[in-house]
Amino acid sequence: MNVAEISNPRELSSLELRGVIDTLYADYQGCLNEERFEDWPGFFTEDCLYKIVPRENFERGLPLATWLCESRGYLLDRVTAIRKTAVYAPRAIRRLYSGIRLLGWKSNTIEVRADYAAFETLLDEMTRVFNVGVYHDRIVFADGRPKFKEKICVFDSVLVPNSLIFPL
Amino acid sequence: MASVISGGAARGKLVSNERIWPAAGETRLPYWVYSDPGLYALEQARIFCGPTWNYVALEAEIPKPGDFKRTFIGDKSVVVVRDGAGGINVLENRCAHRGAQFCQRHLGNAQEFICPYHQWTYRLDGTLQAVPFRRGVKGQGGMPKDFALDQHGLRALKVARRNGVVFASFADAVEPFEDYLGKEILALFDRVFDGRGLTVLGYSRQLTPANWKLVIENIKDPYHASLLHVFLLSFGLNRADQPNRLVIDPSGRHAAGMTWRGEQKRTADNVEMRSLIEDLKLADPSMLEPVKEYAQYTIVLMTIWPNLVLQQQSNTLAMRQVIPKGPNAFELAWTFFGYETDDEAMTRRRLRQANLMGPAGFVSIDDGEVMGFVQQGASQAPGAAGVLEMDGSGWSEETPHAVTEGEIRAMYRHYRKVMGL
């Protein structure tokens, strides 16, 4: 399916819509796992909201995010940090997404939940579970392509193994 | 002094027997302070269970009667609870019967504490209220007649409260909190905690693979900020060529660093800061649009010995609580907060600027990573020592610049005294 040419997403069959959304998540996962961070902001709308939030804050309604992006510009600034300003040991983070649930349309937005697990491999160390949680996503179609208007990563593990440098 | 030491088991044993501080005093920092398990155990006894005031909670976390927070002082889990009379009690999280940690939630509300194992029940002040089957069943068994409930309560700690912040001590003989902080540090503490009501914005927790003292040292080390933190120095948030003032309390254990925000440009004074990127620009500058909040200073970072870093970095306010997890790791528990008087714009500002801090912080990522590097290097050579000669060999209670390691030397002067090293 050519996802670049969806002019009326509301008319897609549920099977077609699932195909589009599955492809979005596969592409997103590929982009991050292959460390093509420069391409990452392109998955989001200009006015997006992206957050990584410990479950304890999310469940208590506390507003603090471990990582807060209130526009695509914030995402670009995170990429600048990864590439230019942050000092950190080399690592590989591999993310796996599973159980993508389409909760339905709300106006022009598709609400989606998906579970994720991220694994971290540091120099001289065995691969370990790094961060596990659930995405609370809202997807819209802009210029015929699905984009994340909101992506809230709520993580179970609460205690971060030192540094959260790459996006989830 | 051990010269060349190799091998895991042999190293551990040898180091425990070789705790001799280098003759050069605090200008040398022996690396066994970061990895010796025997020394770690002694720190627990003499520092965290000794005559120190340990930060445990903000009162705003437990506003209602029965509200509790589970946290740590050193290795020991404690529960901070507000009782019906408005008092705040800090109790060791260890049932007096069989030692179970009866409280298994970070935050909650309780009328009483009931250990799940045999349902020994405690009042919110820690006194033992009831023991099931105390009189036996059908006349059989039960506790001895002279078993006294009032002899078997939870261990209750000494508590100090000041303007909404709660500290606790395992030592009955600890000096009053105000004396413990000293005049200068107390005034800077009151600058943030001025009596206004606080609101908790949320938590961040990270486990850093480094000895707990390294995070305290990191804050007491203004030398690194101008060099390590590309983000911080390029945006002129904290740099040695800005005005700086450092204060150390007379005992050497607490300190504070104050700065005023500078400009993002090359000058003759920052030419050695090779990581300064002059044309660094934020794609969305709304993340960093601080407003002046206090009459004096744009940043104040304080260390309150032994377990608290109090952060006022522009408009982010956070308690960074240090929880040691063995000699080779610590948890840093961040509680971000604001004031009840904050309007929506100020809360938004605090939340945005919080991007600089915590486990994903534009600035603090560098610290967590580098502390791990120090732990790795120091652990491979416990008999070697670090060099702390920036700005001489001693320390002053007042320093008008940031090119110094005096705060770290002062802390280790105090540490050596307490630890008998």
E strands within B189-271?
198-208, 244-248, 255-259
Residue range A91-138, pLDDT digits in tens: 999 999 999 999 999 999 999 999 999 999 999 999 999 999 999 999
Contacts of B282 in chain A (CB under 8 A): 73, 77
The b-or-e profile of B68-83 (16+ CB within 10 A means b, else e) is bbbbbbbebbbbbbbe
Which amino acid makes up residue A3? V
In chain B, residues 346-375 whose CB comes closer than 8 Å to chain A: 347, 351-352, 354-355, 358-360, 362, 365-366, 368-370, 372-373
User: At a CB cut-off of 8 Å and minimum separation 6, what does B137 contact?
Assistant: none
On whether residue A45 sits in a domain, the answer given is yes
Q: Give me the mean pLDDT over the B95-100 stretch.
A: 98
Whole-number pLDDT of residue B225 = 85
On whether residue A167 sits in a domain, the answer given is no
Using CA atoms, how far residue B6 sits from B239, B383, B387, B402, in Å, is 40, 10, 22, 37
Interface test with A, best of B206, B207, B274, B371 (most A CBs within 10 A): B206
Q: How many domains does chain A have?
A: 1
For the ranges A85-89, B201-205, B242-246, B253-257, the lowest mean pLDDT is seen at B242-246
Whole-number pLDDT of residue B241 = 76
Whole-number pLDDT of residue A1 = 45
Q: Which of B155, B158, B152, B70 is nearest to B110 (CA)?
A: B70
Residue range A56-81, pLDDT digits in tens: 999 999 999 999 999 999 999 999 99
Closest residue in A to B228 (Cα–Cα): A87
Whole-number pLDDT of residue A166 = 98
Cβ-nearest to B352 among A70, A81, A88: A70
Interface test with A, best of B71, B204, B274, B370 (most A CBs within 10 A): B204
For the sheet with B76-82, list strands across it. B88-92, B76-82, B67-73, B107-109
Question: Strand, helix or coil at A80?
Answer: helix
Residue range B345-402, pLDDT digits in tens: 999 999 999 999 999 999 999 999 999 999 999 999 999 999 999 999 999 999 999 9
Whole-number pLDDT of residue B15 = 42
Mean pLDDT of chain A: 95
Residue A2's pLDDT band (cuts 50, 70, 90)? very low
Q: Is the pLDDT at B13 greater than 60, yes or no?
A: no
Contact (CB, 8 A) for B155 and B122: no
Cβ-nearest to B369 among A65, A76, A163: A163
Q: Give the span between the Cα atoms of B279 and A85, in whole angstroms.
A: 12
Residue range A136-152, pLDDT digits in tens: 999 999 989 999 999 99
Whole-number pLDDT of residue A5 = 74
On whether residue A135 sits in a domain, the answer given is yes
- Put simply, the answer to whether B282 touches A77 (Cβ < 8 Å) is yes
In chain A, residues 69-108 whose CB comes closer than 8 Å to chain B: 70-74, 76-77, 80-81, 84-89
Q: Give the span between the Cα atoms of B86 and B102, in whole angstroms.
A: 23
Whole-number pLDDT of residue B3 = 37
Chain B nearest C-alpha distance from A92 (Å): 15
Interface test with B, best of A158, A159, A168 (most B CBs within 10 A): A159
Residue range B68-80, pLDDT digits in tens: 999 999 999 999 9
Whole-number pLDDT of residue B239 = 66
In chain B, residues 312-341 whose CB comes closer than 8 Å to chain A: 331, 336
Higher-confidence residue of B6 and A72: namely A72
Distance of CA B99 to the CA centre of its chain: 26
Query: CA dihedral in degrees (B41, B44, B46, B49; nearest 10)?
Result: -150
Q: A141 is in which domain, residue-wise?
A: 3-155
The continuous run of DSSP H or E covering B90 comes out as strand B88-92
- Put simply, the answer to whether A54 touches B369 (Cβ < 8 Å) is no
Mean pLDDT of chain B: 92
Distance of CA B391 to the CA centre of its chain: 26
Whole-number pLDDT of residue A123 = 92
On whether residue A164 sits in a domain, the answer given is no
Whole-number pLDDT of residue B271 = 67
Q: Is the pLDDT at B2 greater than 60, yes or no?
A: no
Contacts of A165 in chain B (CB under 8 A): 360, 365
Q: Give me the mean pLDDT over the B180-187 stretch.
A: 97
Closest residue in B to A51 (Cα–Cα): B355
Which amino acid makes up residue B41? A
Closest residue in A to B366 (Cα–Cα): A87
Q: Give me the mean pLDDT over the B313-330 stretch.
A: 97
Q: Which of A129, A139, A131, A93 is nearest to A115 (CA)?
A: A131
Asked whether the bond before B51 is cis by omega within 30 degrees of 0, the reply is no
B131-137 LR contacts (CB < 8 Å, sep 24+): B131/B97
Whole-number pLDDT of residue B175 = 98
Whole-number pLDDT of residue B5 = 40
Q: Is the pLDDT at A33 greater than 60, yes or no?
A: yes
On whether residue A42 sits in a domain, the answer given is yes
- Put simply, the answer to whether A159 touches B368 (Cβ < 8 Å) is no
On whether residue A142 sits in a domain, the answer given is yes
Q: Which of B158, B264, B183, B256 is nearest to B216 (CA)?
A: B256
Whole-number pLDDT of residue B89 = 98
CB atoms within 10 A of CB A107: 5
- Put simply, the answer to whether B360 touches A165 (Cβ < 8 Å) is yes
Q: Is the pTM of this model over 0.90?
A: yes
Q: Is the pLDDT at A32 greater than 60, yes or no?
A: yes
- Put simply, the answer to whether B358 touches A66 (Cβ < 8 Å) is yes
Q: Which of A150, A126, A117 is nearest to A50 (CA)?
A: A150
Chain A nearest C-alpha distance from B97 (Å): 30
Residue A123's CATH number: 3.10.450.50
Q: Give me the mean pLDDT over the B294-301 stretch.
A: 92
For chain B, percent of residues with pLDDT exceeding 90 = 82
Q: Give the span between the Cα atoms of B212 and B324, in whole angstroms.
A: 5
Contacts of B205 in chain A (CB under 8 A): 54, 158-160
On whether residue A168 sits in a domain, the answer given is no
In chain B, residues 184-223 whose CB comes closer than 8 Å to chain A: 200-209
Whole-number pLDDT of residue B226 = 80
On whether residue A162 sits in a domain, the answer given is no
Interface test with B, best of A56, A59, A60, A77 (most B CBs within 10 A): A77
Q: Is the pLDDT at B179 greater than 60, yes or no?
A: yes
ipTM exceeding cut-off 0.90 for this assembly: yes
Q: Is the pLDDT at B16 greater than 70, yes or no?
A: no
Cβ contacts below 8 Å, chain A against chain B, sum to 124
